[in-house]
Amino acid sequence: MSDNGHGAPLPPRAVIFGCAGLEPSAWERSFFAETDPAGFILFQRNCQDPDQLRGLVAALRDSIGRPDAPVLIDQEGGRVARLRPPHWRLPPAAAVFAGLYAADPERARQAAWLSARLIADDLAALGITVDCVPVLDVPIAGADSVIGDRAFGEIPDQIADLGRQVCNGMITGGVLPVIKHIPGHGRALVDSHTDLPEVDSPLAELDATDFAPFRELCDMPVAMTAHVVYKAADAEAPVTLSEAAIRTLIRERIGFQGLLLSDDLSMQALAGGLDDRARRAIQAGCDIVLHCNGEQEEMEAVAPAVPRLGPEAAGRLQSALDRIPAPEGQQGFDAAAALARLDELLAT
């Protein structure tokens, strides 16, 4: 942890990094200590078993001297789950809850909350404090399958309803949710991991559909951007790199004032060098950028392009961390009973 020369700690750098393997290498420990990232993100390559993963989480935080540094993961359920059997239960995909909602909305709400609460229980036991869920994207017919069964259906009100339950279950379990991919990825005809999606729908239509679930959950502490061009706001740049789109769509029309993370800078929807992508994302209004793949050369390019958190972004990060309840509040949760009830609800 760095200080300002007077003993007070400096805010961390506005980046969250991944790491390459099951434990930090000597180079990674040194690099993280020097660059002081805001936190870390984990992928399946980092997750072998509970003891190993707890050790990795602790070692990452130790490398920057901040025991409360956020550690993120994508544990949605279904095909997007970094923790998998045999050591961890595989949660259901969002589409399972959407199917139940059509028959019985109240049972679906209970099931979504319980599923999120159980995921949070798994994550909190490992020291992981942020889960990049829920997906609030509204898919349309003909869209790329990258969202698909990760969505809570195709009706904005339903998506918002189930997304709210997931957020509440996560926070109750001591884990911060991240609403994604703001302002929406559901109209993308291509996968932003490999290409740049463009949306030319009018704002009135977007307000009524794509933006609606995000607006309903704009009180959540953290959101992740979509690498999608919204031509109604900026015909050239994807939201992540567009000051106009972040300001007009996310901050003003949707009303989200929490901590804004970029999606992964390494995704091919973004053009230019990694340093340029990082610099542009921060200038556009992302509070923190994500770099996920753990590749040394890319991280060395990103780090010097990213400043330390400014006062506003640091305040948003602290406000988000303050939403995590004290550990005492997690006591008394009966995971076995919760899982039995979830199975009962889903068997309907």
Annotated catalytic residue: which of 193, 195, 207, 276?
Answer: 193
Rounded Cα distance between 237 and 71, Å, is: 29
The CA-atom distances, in angstroms, between 172 and each of 129, 165, 167 are 12, 10, 9
Answer yes or no: 207 catalytic: no
For residue 240, how far is the Cα from the chain centroid? 14
Strand partners, 39: 16
Annotated catalytic residue: which of 149, 263, 264, 287?
Answer: 263
Strands (E), 157-311: 176-177, 179-182, 198-199, 222-225, 229-230, 259-264, 288-291
Answer yes or no: 227 catalytic: no
3-state SS record for 183-222: CCCCCCCCCCCCCCCEECCCHHHHHHCCCHHHHHCCCCCE
Contact in structure between 270 and 262 (CB atoms under 8 Å): no
Name the residue type at position 121.
Answer: D
Contact in structure between 162 and 97 (CB atoms under 8 Å): yes
Rounded Cα distance between 36 and 263, Å, is: 20
Catalytic residues: 193, 263
